Amino acid sequence: MQNANNAQLRFSMVKQRHRKTFEEALAKGLVDRQLIPICKFISKQREFFTSSGCAGRILLICLPKGEEKKEAFFVAKWHRKVKFSELKEALAKECNNELWFKQEPFILHIGTNTIENARKILKIAKKAGIKRGGIMHLGLGKIMIELVGTQYLSLPIKKGKKLLADDRFIKFILQKANKKLEKNYERLKKFERILISELSP
């Protein structure tokens, strides 16, 4: 009983903290547009919260030698479809080693208080066709679920000052990346619809 009370207290505190962080990020325009309806809905639920998340993106990342992630930096980052001219412009920017072109899927972290609630989220994710993710942390009064999309594309595109591929190929992979990003957002929208329908009273 003491444990249950501690869990409830801890969850309330964590939930409150994350709601505040979310509202601040929202006010500053830092929340990905495609995630706002999901995050807003979850924020209003008494037994759930969201922590970090990304709706999915297209990016250029500069990897220094050894590919240490810490030293990597984004040369460009878009949470939407990208035009060839925009990509070309970004490709002209400096990266002293390897530049990678990537389309990454959404990643969303949802927190809850009980295993039963975590199970609900897993079921909703499954129903929405989300194949990757699960409960990644099971703490007292804090259970974290990670959901990840499966649409991605990733390749090196420039080495030093030299492009590794010609415009025709770059156009082709950008078209693929845009299409995959669109599919990724559709999956997220499907999750949003099912989530709202299943969790609404």
Give the residues lining the site for a second copy (CB under 8 A). Answer: 115, 118-119, 122, 132-138, 145-146, 148, 152-156, 159, 164-165, 168-169, 172-173, 176
Least distance from C-beta 179 to a second copy, angstroms? 9
Least distance from C-beta 98 to a second copy, angstroms? 8
Between residues 26 and 165, which has the closer beta carbon with respect to a second copy?
Answer: 165
Q: Mark 139-158 as b/e (b = at least 16 C-beta within 10 Å).
A: eebbbbbbbbbebebeeebb
Least distance from C-beta 59 to a second copy, angstroms? 14
Range 30-35, long-range pairs (CB < 8 A, 24+ positions):
32/79, 33/79, 34/79, 34/106, 34/185, 34/188, 34/189, 35/106, 35/108, 35/188
Least distance from C-beta 23 to a second copy, angstroms? 27
Alpha-helical runs (H) found in 28-111: 36-44, 84-91
Amino acid at position 88, single letter: K
Tell me how far CA of residue 181 lies from CA of 10, 20, 108, 138, 160, in angstroms: 37, 29, 15, 31, 27
Between residues 28 and 70, which has the closer beta carbon with respect to a second copy?
Answer: 70
Between residues 30 and 138, which has the closer beta carbon with respect to a second copy?
Answer: 138
Between residues 44 and 176, which has the closer beta carbon with respect to a second copy?
Answer: 176
Between residues 44 and 132, which has the closer beta carbon with respect to a second copy?
Answer: 132
Least distance from C-beta 194 to a second copy, angstroms? 17
